Amino acid sequence: MTAIVDTRRLSFEEYCQLDDSDRRYELVNGELRLMNPPTGRHFLIAGFLQETFKDEIKRLQHPWTCLQGAGVRTGLAKSRLPDLIVVPTEAVMELLDRSAVFQTAPFLAVEIVSPSSSVDDYRYKRSEYGAIEIPEYWIVDARDRKVTVLCLEEGFYEETIYTDNDAISSKLFPELDVTVDRIFQIGEK
How confident is the model at residue 1, as a pLDDT?
A: 44
Question: Which residues lie across from 87 on neighbouring strands?
Answer: 65
- Domain around 144: 38-185
How confident is the model at residue 116, as a pLDDT?
A: 77
How confident is the model at residue 87, as a pLDDT?
A: 98
- Which of 144, 77, 142, 140 lies closest to 110 in space, CA to CA? 140
Asked whether residue 112 is assigned to any structural domain, the reply reads: yes
Asked whether residue 137 is assigned to any structural domain, the reply reads: yes
Asked whether residue 21 is assigned to any structural domain, the reply reads: no
Measured distance CA(121)–CA(33) in Å, rounded: 14
Asked whether residue 14 is assigned to any structural domain, the reply reads: no
Asked whether residue 30 is assigned to any structural domain, the reply reads: no
Asked whether residue 101 is assigned to any structural domain, the reply reads: yes
By CB atoms closer than 10 A (0-12, 13-18, 19+), residue 48 is middle
pTM: 0.91
Strand 156-163 versus strand 146-153 pairing type: antiparallel
Asked whether residue 106 is assigned to any structural domain, the reply reads: yes
Per-residue pLDDT of the chain (189 residues), as tens digits, is: 455 555 678 989 988 888 766 788 889 999 999 888 888 899 999 999 999 999 999 999 999 999 998 999 999 999 999 999 999 999 999 999 888 899 999 999 999 998 777 888 889 999 999 999 999 999 999 999 999 999 999 999 999 999 999 999 999 999 999 999 999 997 565
Query: Who contacts 19 (Cβ-Cβ below 8 Å, separation ≥6)?
Result: none
CATH for 147: 3.90.1570.10
How confident is the model at residue 157, as a pLDDT?
A: 96
Q: At 6, which helix (H) or strand (E)?
A: strand 3-6
Structurally, the chain folds into a number of domains equal to: 1
